Amino acid sequence: MLSLILKDLLIQKKNLIFAFLYIIFIMYIMQSQLMDATLSICICAISYITLSSASAYDDRSNGNIFLNTLPLSRGKIVLSKYVSLFIYAALTIVIYFVIYLFTSSLNLKITLYPVTLDGIIYGLFLVSIMYSLSLPVFFKFGYMKSKWIQFIIFFLFFGGISYIIKFLESRFSNILLGFGGFKGLTMLFIIILSFIILLISYCLSVYFYKRREF
C-alpha cells in the first residue's frame, strides 16, 4: 500500500509548484474575508486537486488494470487513496508554513494567518467530505467517466465554501456550548465525525471497486 501512495506522490511534482503559487494566491485574496479560513481552504483545495490528478493519471495510463495484476487486494488499493488524503494535507501544511515564515520575515504589508490546530482540523474535515463524495464515484465509474461529476462537486463546494465555513462555525459553536464551552471536546467531535464519514465512504468505494470490471 505504501508503494501505491509513493507512486501517487512521485507523479505530483508539477503540482508542488502549483501548490506554492496557489497558497500565495489564496493568502493574498483572503486578507479581507475569511482570513482565518485560509489554511483550511488551502488544505481542502490542494488535497482534492492532487487526488484528482493522481486519479486521472491512473485512468489515462490504465493504471487500474496494472494494479489488479499485482498481489494486492482491492481493499488496499482503495485504502491507499484515503490514506493519501492525510499525506497531501501534511504536505500542504508544510508548504503553507514555509511560505508563512518566509513572507513574515520580509515584513510585507500583508496580513497572514498562521498555522493553527483549528485551521488544520477544519481543513481535514472539509477535505474529508470532498473525498467521501468523490472517491466512491471514482471507484464506481473511473475518473474519466466521472470527471464531470468531480468537476461539479469541486465547483459547487468551492463556490459555496464561504457559506459552508460560516455554517460549520455556527453549528460547531452550538456544539461547543453543549460541551460547556470546552473547545478541545468540540475539536475531538469534528475529528471523530471526519473519520466516520471517511469510513462510510471507504466501505462504499470498496463495494463498488470489487464489482468493477476492467
CA distance 209 to 163: 33
- What the block records as the C-alpha cell of 114 is 498562521
pLDDT tens digits, residue range 28-67?
Answer: 776 656 566 788 888 888 888 888 887 777 777 766 666 6
CA distance 41 to 28: 13
* pLDDT beyond 70 at 114: yes
Residue range 20-26: average pLDDT? 77
Residue 44 has a pLDDT of 83
CA distance 136 to 15: 23
Q: Is the dihedral of CA 62, 197, 96, 35 positive or negative?
A: positive
> CA 11, 15, 17: angle at the middle one, nearest 5?
125
Note the helical H segments in 30-160. Answer: 38-60, 63-67, 74-105, 117-141, 143-159
Residue 17 has a pLDDT of 75
CA distance 70 to 87: 23
Coil vs helix vs strand at 13? helix
Q: Is the dihedral of CA 75, 120, 42, 2 positive or negative?
A: negative
- Top pLDDT among 64 and 128 is at 128
Residue range 106-133: average pLDDT? 83
Residue 29 has a pLDDT of 72
* pLDDT beyond 80 at 112: no
Instruction: Indicate the pTM of the whole model.
Output: 0.81
| 131 and 48 Cβ atoms separated by less than 8 Å | yes
Residue range 133-139: average pLDDT? 89
